[in-house]
Structure formats: C-alpha cells, structure tokens
C-alpha cells in the first residue's frame, strides 16, 4: 500500500512538472509569434514603454503571462488563472493573424487588378494630370468663350423705351396723389408694405423704383444708401410645390436630386439657396402683377412677411457633421434674413386680391390718365429725343391711347419711321407722320368723341367701368303710342338681352318712376331700349340714365349730349350711390363730356384735382330732369 501511494505521488508530481513546462513553452512561443508579427524592435519598444522588462525576463511564469496580458490584451489585472489568460491571448493573436492574412489576400487581388489594368490606369492618371495642368478648357470651350466675348462688344445702345422712361419723380405725369401716398408710407421710420392698383402704363413700376431712391435721402427713412430694389413679375414666378426650387422664397438643393456644389455633394451636404426675399433684405421687393402669383406661394410669402426670415430644412442635413460649412449651419439653424418692404402692383380690382395680403398692406390707387396727361408725356419724350413736331401731334397721339407707355411707344414708332424716310438731320414729326404710323399699326382711336353740341330725343350718355377704366354707355330708347291692336294698356317693352339682367330691372323701375313723376302710363306705349354696342351692364348704375332715355322717348323732349349720368334709381325716384366714380369721371373726360350727374352720396368720391368737367350731385330724379332737358 505504501509503495503504491509513493508511486502515485511521484506520477502526479511528474504530470504537474510537464504541465508547467508546457505553459512555459507556450509563453515562449507566443513571444516568438509576436516578434514575427510586429518585429522584435516594436516588441522591445513596447516592453520598454510599459516598463515590463523585469516581468518578461522573470523566471516566474505568472510574471511573464502578466507581461503578455499587458502587451496583447491591454489589461492590467492580476493573473489568477494563467490558462484562461493564455487562451484569451491566443484568440486575440489568432484574430489579428486572420485579419492580416485577409488583408494580404486582398492586397494580392489589388495587385493583380493593377497588373491587369495598369496601362489603362496610367492613361487615366496622365489625362487627369494634363487636365489639371490645362484647366477645364479645350478648343471647343475656348471657341465658345471667344464668341460670347465678341458678342459682348456689340452694343445697339439702350432701347428707346428705356431712354424715354422717367428718371425723376417730377417726370411722372398725372399721379401726384399716388406719389405722395407712396412716399409717405416709405419715408416713415416704420415703412409699410404697399399694393398699387391702377390701369396698365400709368407709371406704377417707375414710381416704386424712384420712390425708394427718394426715400433713401430722407432723414426719417430706415433705408440705407445700399438698400436693394429687387424687381420680379408675378406672371413669370415658377416654383415647385415640393420646394425643390423656389426663386421667390428660397429652396434647399440636396446632394442627390438637385445637386449641390461638387465639394458639398461629395460629402452628402445639402445646400440652401436663398431667394428674392433675402436678396431684398433691407430694401424693397417689387412684384409686378402680384395678383397672378400662385395662391400657395402667396401664403408662403405672407409667412415670410410675418417672420422676416426664411426657414430651411432637409432630411440630409446633419447638425453634428463637422464637414458642414458654417454658413450652411447658420442657414439651417437660424434661417436667412428677409426683412424688406413689399410693393406689389396689379391691374386687378382689390376684391380679386388675397384678403390676407391686403390686410398687411397699405393700398394706393393710380388714376387713369387724361388726354392732357398723355399729351404732357409725349412732350417730355420729345424733349428727351431732342426733336420738334407739329403742335397737334401730342393731341393726335392721345386720341389713340390713354396709357403713357403706349403713347411713348407710338411716338417712338413715328420717330423711327421719320428717320427711315428722311435721315437723322432736323427731325420733325408731323400729323401726317402720325396718321401713317397709325395706319401701318392699325391703330384706332381709343374713344370716339361725342358731339356735345347735339340735343337728341331718346338718347342719353350713361357711364360704365371696366377694370380701372371708365367708358361711355350710349343708351337709346324709342317709344310708339299704342293706338291699335289692343289700344291703351297693351304696350310692350323690349331691350337687348346682351345688356344683362340688371338692365331689364332698370327698365321696369323706369316705367314705375315715370308714372309716379309724370303720370304717364308706359303700358300705353311700345318701348324699345338699347345699349349701343351690346355692352354688358353688370350693375344698377345705369338706372337713372335709362329712366331719362325712356322719358325723353315718351315725351319727345331732347336731351343735351354734353351730359353723362350715373346712379341707381329707386322706385320712389331716389338716386342711389354707385361704384367706380373716379374711373367714370375720367372716362367721360376722354370723350369730351363737360357735365356729369352723380348720386349725392358719391360726392365724397370725386377727385379734388378734377378741373375739366362739372360734377353735379343729385338726390332724386326731379333734379336730373331740371338739368338734362
């Protein structure tokens, strides 16, 4: 038994000795592998840096394992299980070796591809170097650039319309009140947004541009000397409802679809593009035909007017990306400044403009031009052209238009035609020259002049409005006493349907008023009422004129033709107020009317600068009868 126990103990001791020797060998092998992988110099440098020399050279196995643990695993813990630690070290080295083998394999593959495509890659490299040396140009691009530069040297001078455009506030004719209103709204320390209403060609755009220049010189004005005047047209503003592009408000060009700058696109950085509202910051944004802007775009514009900034957003924007330039971060985080004054111009009526936009803007109305205004514009243009002309030329041109721009255009046509025929010396325009151009351009007089000396039975001049322009409505009536085929009380009333349903109502109202005022029964007559030209009367304002025309036809009393009448008539004979008084007055002046009868309640609507016509305000039909007959 004793000998057996001794033998067993000896065997255990031998086994432990072999295990310890095996661990020592494994540690030595690991050190050898590490030196092969990283080189003995690197391993020695690490040992020295970590101050592990004593541990590595120690005769104690646990010290050497601890050194390996520090070098390979980067761990500084007590080694209580040498076998476990060595296993971890072996696995870590195995992963490193595997990674190196894969990298080596990939490197071989790359070298193989390089060997196969070496010539092609070298050619591409050579081309790239040549392009960098030469720049982006080649023979074709140089030729196109030279062509553009040659075109830039060819100047036809500025257009005649640009030359004749008013260059000072004083040159704008017929808009004294509108100019004063605009300046008062821009000269304040707190300038207002403005909408300009008026017919085309009366100077809305020019007034807005010159008003800003004048406002800059005023002490109370907040505009700096470098305040911008940005001009655009509502009819040409196009935008993408997904905000991929928006020239008015601004948009974000993402690096995939729209394509930002090359250096930004390569890093996947979106680029905000500011719009006209930012370009106008600190100045004026003028939008001609503002009523034509898309309703959704108008709402976006309203948001900018409220916030005075434009916000940008993009799913591609990463605020933590260090590659994003500072200006892009600022635009995304704070938005772009857009503190400007909006001036919009339109030929539409106020009711046709977005109510939310109107509520944020002061409204200024430009008046239609009179014949004298058009004549003054022609005379100013002639001075700029340094030409002479017959005294009747301005008046003759004013017969063909009531627009200042059109009048200047006609003068320019006559000027060009005279130069073509006679040359540049001693240019003089005659009435015959104007008639010749009118015939070539197929111009017709804008308004037919009325013979105001006439007195006519059954014919009266009414007044209508189309947009911002007034016009004369020639209203005729004839009446035949009903003596046969039914006798009294069987008369009929006829009228042209194209005049509209309001005209029919006015005729029936006229019949009742005439019976009340004169005792004449209209049903004893066959009455026919006509609006010459088939004009559509879309309101009740012709009621008083129709009543006078019918009464004249029935009583055979002639009506003075220098008079025009507007106003709704009630069944009791009262003259009720109507709209468009200013436009109607200007329309009457154009055709030579010298006296206008309007409702008394419209007296406050008469412009204070009217001098070429007599305005008479009446309350009832009896007052009109005393004037027209």
- The gap from C-alpha 94 to its chain's centroid, in whole angstroms, comes to 68
Rounded to the nearest 5 percent, the helix, strand and coil shares of the chain are 50, 15, 35
**Dmax (CA) of the chain:** 168
Could you tell me the CA-to-CA distances from 227 to 192, 212, 274, 305, 535 in Å, in that order? 16, 9, 17, 17, 48
From CA 254, how far away is CA 230, in angstroms rounded?
Answer: 26
Q: Which of 275, 281, 269, 266 is nearest to 243 (CA)?
A: 275
Torsion sign (Cα): 102, 108, 112, 117: positive
Decide if 584 is catalytic: yes
Copy the structure tokens of residue 29. Answer: 């092998």
Check if the beta carbon of residue 164 is closer than 8 Å to that of residue 408: yes
Tokens encoding 481: 């006493």
Residue 217 and residue 273: Cα distance in Å, rounded? 32
Catalytic pick among 471, 541, 552, 595: 541
Residue 390 near residue 429, CB atoms below 8 Å: yes
DSSP 3-state assignment of 368?
coil
DSSP secondary structure code for residue 360 in this structure: T
Out of 584, 595, 603, 604, pick the active-site residue.
584
Closest CA to 37 of 106, 92, 110: 92
Tell me the β-bridge partners of 457.
558
Structural tokens at position 185: 């709204």
| Collapsed DSSP state (helix, strand, coil) of residue 568 | strand
List Cα–Cα distances, 217 to 169, 183, 187, 206, 222, in angstroms.
Answer: 14, 12, 9, 18, 10
Beta bridge partners of 345: 196, 288
Q: Is 155 a catalytic residue?
A: no
For residues 32-68, one letter each, b for 16 or more C-beta atoms within 10 angstroms of the residue's C-beta and e for the rest, the string is eebeeeeeeeebeebbeeeebeebbeeeebeebbbbb
Cα separation of 322 and 329, whole Å? Answer: 10
Asked whether the beta carbons of 362 and 185 are under 8 A apart, the reply is: yes
Asked if 568 contacts 578 with a C-beta cutoff of 8 angstroms, the reply is yes
Dihedral through CA 491, CA 497, CA 499, CA 504, nearest 10? 40
Catalytic residue annotation: 541, 584
């Amino acid at each position: 038994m004793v000998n057996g126990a001794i033998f067993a103990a000896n065997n255990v001791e031998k086994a432990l000795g072999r295990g310890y020797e095996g661990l020592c060998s494994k540690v030595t092998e690991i050190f050898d592998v590490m030196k092969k992988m990283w080189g003995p110099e690197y391993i020695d440098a690490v040992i020295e840096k970590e101050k592990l020399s004593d541990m590595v050279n120690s005769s104690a196995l646990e010290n050497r394992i601890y050194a390996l643990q520090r070098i390979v695993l980067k761990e500084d813990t007590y080694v209580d299980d040498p076998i476990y630690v060595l296993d971890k070290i072996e696995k870590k080295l195995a992963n490193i070796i595997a990674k190196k083998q894969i990298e080596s394999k990939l490197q071989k593959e790359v070298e193989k591809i390089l060997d196969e495509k070496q010539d092609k890659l070298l050619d591409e490299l050579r081309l790239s170097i040549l392009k960098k040396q030469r720049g982006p140009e080649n023979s074709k691009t140089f030729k196109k650039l030279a062509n553009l530069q040659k075109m830039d040297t060819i100047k036809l001078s500025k257009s005649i319309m640009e030359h004749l455009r008013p260059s000072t506030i004083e040159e704008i004719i017929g808009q004294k009140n509108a100019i004063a209103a605009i300046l008062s709204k821009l000269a304040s320390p707190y300038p207002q947004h403005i909408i300009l209403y008026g017919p085309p060609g009366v100077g809305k755009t020019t007034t807005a541009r010159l008003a800003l220049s004048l406002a800059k010189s005023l002490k109370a004005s907040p505009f700096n000397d470098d305040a911008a005047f940005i001009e655009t047209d509502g009819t040409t503003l196009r935008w993408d409802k997904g905000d991929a592009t928006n020239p008015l408000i601004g948009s974000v060009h993402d690096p995939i679809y729209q394509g930002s700058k090359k250096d930004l696109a390569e890093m996947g950085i979106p680029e905000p593009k500011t719009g006209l509202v930012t370009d106008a910051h600190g100045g004026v944004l003028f939008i001609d035909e503002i009523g034509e802007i898309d309703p959704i775009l108008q709402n976006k514009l309203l948001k900018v007017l409220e916030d005075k900034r434009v916000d940008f957003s993009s799913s591609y924007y990463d605020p933590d990306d260090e590659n994003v330039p500072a200006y892009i971060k600022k635009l995304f985080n704070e938005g772009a400044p857009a503190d400007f004054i909006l001036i919009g111009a339109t030929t539409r009526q106020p009711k046709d403009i977005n109510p939310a936009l109107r509520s944020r803007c002061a409204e200024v109305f430009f008046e239609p031009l009179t014949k004298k205004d058009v004549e003054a514009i022609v005379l100013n243009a002639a001075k700029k052209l340094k030409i002479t002309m017959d005294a009747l030329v301005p008046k003759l041109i004013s017969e063909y238009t009531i627009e200042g721009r059109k009048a200047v255009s006609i003068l320019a046509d006559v000027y060009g035609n005279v130069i073509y025929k006679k040359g540049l010396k001693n240019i003089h325009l005659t009435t015959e020259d104007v008639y010749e151009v009118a015939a070539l351009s197929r111009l017709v007089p804008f308004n037919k002049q009325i013979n105001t000396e006439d007195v006519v039975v059954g014919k009266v001049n009414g007044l209508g409005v189309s947009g911002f322009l007034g016009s004369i409505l020639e209203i005729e009536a004839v009446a035949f006493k009903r003596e046969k085929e039914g006798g009294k009380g069987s008369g009929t009333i006829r009228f042209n349907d194209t005049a509209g349903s309001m005209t029919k109502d006015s005729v029936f109202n006229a019949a009742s008023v005439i019976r009340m005022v004169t005792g004449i029964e209209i049903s004893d007559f066959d009455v026919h009422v006509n609006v010459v030209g088939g004009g559509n009367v879309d309101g009740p304002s012709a009621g008083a004129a129709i009543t006078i025309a019918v009464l004249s036809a029935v009583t055979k009393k002639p009506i003075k033709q220098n008079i025009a009448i507007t106003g709704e008539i009630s069944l009791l004979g009262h003259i009720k107020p109507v709209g468009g008084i200013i436009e109607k007055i200007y329309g009457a002046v154009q055709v030579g009317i010298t006296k206008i009868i309007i409702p008394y309640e419209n007296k406050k609507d008469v412009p204070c600068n009217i001098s070429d016509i007599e305005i008479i305000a009446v309350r009832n039909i009896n007052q009109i009868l005393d004037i027209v007959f």
